[in-house]
Amino acid sequence: MSVDTLPTTSTNTEHLPQVTEPRNTGMPLDLNWVLSAQANTSAIERRAASLPARRSVKKIYQAAWLLKAVTCIDLTTLSGDDTARRVGRLSAKARQPIAASTLDALGMPPITTGAVCVYHEMIAPAVHALQGSGIPVAAVSTGFPAGLSPLPLRIAEIEQSVAAGAAEIDIVISRRHVLEGNWQALYDEMRAFRAACGDAHVKAILATGELGSLRNVARASLVCMMAGADFIKTSTGKESVNATLPVSLVMIRAIRDYYDRTGYRVGYKPAGGISKAKDAITYLALIKEELGDRWLQPDLFRFGASSLLNDIERQLEHHVSGAYSASYRHPTS
């Protein structure tokens, strides 16, 4: 069954100019700015609840958005039974996340995921499996997921992961600093993590489900950006509450405020609990409305996900063939 090819506004960006962003260098801690950050919870929840119903795309446009989502996935495995072979399979999936036949039917060139995310011990197998692909390896670090190991050990963990070949480091902050309102301690910790990363980009995981309030989420977002975070990320995926639309709205508005004041674009990564294709489109629509098209590129937006790709594949295959395939036909590892 033939289908129309995708609109030119889809993920095919090979003919577009490559935009390079200056890296966020951070700034001195501005406590007046931090403490002025507030969050109107009822208004935030109303705005978030309205988005899925108002931003529904269908047919070829839905396919285009889903392909965009694929390019922004940090394909992740963070299990205690991870092996080099599993990471190799995951990396192969990152190289070719969508079947060539589906891409051909949509008139699309090959695409890849945004990155592969693993524990430190799995960096070497991932780097080997992704050699020549241009796909970066991201490593979780700093005592992930709790972040309660001694600070010197957390810094050493970052340094070892960078030495092993990780191009991106996903760190976890000390939640107690936020809950106690000790913003200087959070800033100093984040600055130390940023310094240890060197040229590797650092994603600051706020573990928003454990921060107590949306106001704390807003303030922690600002402090981490002031300390030099390249990305701010919702969750480890191990908390009882992970990425949500209200939390995302608070964090991306903090990103927008930071950009307006400093000129630095900081990336955003929702993680945990995003497993359906329709949810991915909702998050992308939120980013487009609040931050604009520039943030829809994988250098500024990522999904932390493992099962999301499975559902996107099924939806794209349905668009092409008219039938849903079994989920087991689209394993990620």
Q: Which residues are catalytic?
A: 170, 233, 269
How many Å apart are CA 128 and CA 74, to the nearest integer?
17
Handedness of CA 252, 253, 255, 256 (dihedral sign): positive
Among the listed residues 99, 78, 106, the one whose alpha carbon sits nearest the alpha carbon of residue 3: 106
Spatial CB neighbours of 102, under 8 Å, sequence gap ≥ 6? 313, 316, 317, 320
The label of the residue with tokens 């050699």 reads: 131
Beta carbons of 293 and 284 less than 8 angstroms apart: no
Distances (CA, A) of 3 to 75, 96, 107: 28, 21, 9
Q: How far apart are CA 51 and CA 21, in angstroms?
A: 29
Q: Closest Cα partner for 306 from 231, 238, 252?
A: 238
Whole-number Å distance between alpha carbons of 32 and 316: 48
CA distance 273 to 55: 20
* C-alpha distance from residue 22 to each of 138, 288, 327 (Å): 20, 21, 41
